[in-house]
Amino acid sequence: MAINLSIRVLRAFVVLADCRHFTRAAARCHLSQSAFSQLIRRLEEEAGTALFNRNTRNVALTAEGELLADSARRLLADIESSFAELKDRTACRKGRVAVAALPSLAADTMPRVFAACRRRFPGVALELFDGLSDRCLELVRQGRVDFALTAPGSRLAEFDSRLLLSDSFHLVCHRDHPLASKRRAGMQDLAGCELIHFARTSSVRQHLEPALADVPVLHSGFEVEHLATVAGLVANGLGVSVVPALTLFQFRRPELVAIPVDVPALVRPILFVQRKGIALSPPAAAMVKMIEAMLPVRRAARQRARSEAGRAATPRGR
């Protein structure tokens, strides 16, 4: 049997059970006594039994009314608790945000965003997964993260995605390397250089290989996954590398020089990716806005890095 009860009716019933007086209960519910009595009558008709014993002086619950009152109080408490939880999540006082990001973003940009989010929304739990593009997309596919910041990967069409920024590239070399004096570098400048490669599965490698197809570079013998490893190898004169601008924070070492690569078509798209048809939670949507607000700062930082790289590449008495 379908039961058609509103929260308003249940709340009126609980108020009367507590007050045991129609006039006072109606006043607490901001209803006229006749309107309040109609609510109680409707509830008793739905229950199929009397819920109150009435006399001229007071109102008392029947045994059936006592049974319903206990359940009604629990139900109303659960509903109020659920709505309070929803309001907390909408206001970003509670919730969880999980993000997958490329290592270049997970090591610098995302910690900054997470720190800002923690200050602004201390009740929101944060989770960060760092991985290459295919791993990031798989985490979105599995629903383990709200969204990913990644380069294009396989089966991208199954997701909602949009371009966040286009990441340019820099040549990094030891300050004593012959290319260190250049202000800008082209792909042909790498001819004859020992190149330290990123892993073949990385988005960096996948963007660089077409650009280097006709350049006779020498293989250094190193193919590594981690930025810090690339920086260490270059710093010790074991080769040069070409890295995205977003990774330059890993190469701020006195023995290294970063030179902008002057190949306009050589850019790495950084995408925002989420599951199709799934709306972001309020905390996740708030974090996306924080990321977008921070990205112009990152672009300005790259412009400063180009300027600093140009100054660093100026010959110093050599």
2 in a structural domain: no
Shared-domain flag, residues 230 and 261: yes
Q: Has residue 310 been placed in a domain?
A: no
Per-residue pLDDT of the chain (318 residues; tens, 9 = 90+): 456 678 888 899 999 999 888 888 899 999 998 999 998 988 888 888 999 988 767 789 999 988 899 889 998 888 888 877 777 677 667 788 999 999 889 988 999 999 999 998 998 899 999 998 889 999 999 999 999 999 987 788 899 999 998 899 999 999 999 999 999 999 999 999 999 999 888 888 888 988 998 999 998 999 998 889 999 999 999 999 999 999 999 999 999 999 999 988 889 999 999 999 998 998 999 999 999 888 754 444 444 444 544 444 443 333
Instruction: Identify whether residues 116 and 236 lie together within a single domain.
Output: no
Distance CA(291)–CA(38), nearest Å, equals 55
* Containing structural domain, residue 72: 7-90
Residues 33 and 101 in one domain: no
Last residue of a domain, which of 29, 58, 90?
Answer: 90
Q: Residue 58's CB: how many other CB atoms inside 10 A?
A: 12
Residues 60 and 145 in one domain: no
Find the CATH number of the domain harbouring 150.
3.40.190.10
What total number of domains does the chain contain? 3
> Percentage of residues in the chain with pLDDT exceeding 70?
90
**Burial code of 176-200, b = ≥16 C-beta within 10 A, e = fewer?**
ebebbebebbebebbeebbbbbbee
Q: In this structure, are 15 and 128 located in the same domain?
A: no
* Tokens found for residue 120: 């602004």
In angstroms, the CA 316 to CA 318 distance is: 6
Q: Are residues 27 and 173 in the same domain?
A: no
| Residues 132 and 191 occupy one common structural domain | no
* Residues 105 and 82 both lie in one domain: no
Same domain, 128 and 152: yes
Residue 314 lies in a domain: no
Q: What is the pLDDT of residues 163-176, one digit of tens each?
A: 998 899 999 999 99
Q: Are residues 177 and 260 located together in one domain of the fold?
A: yes
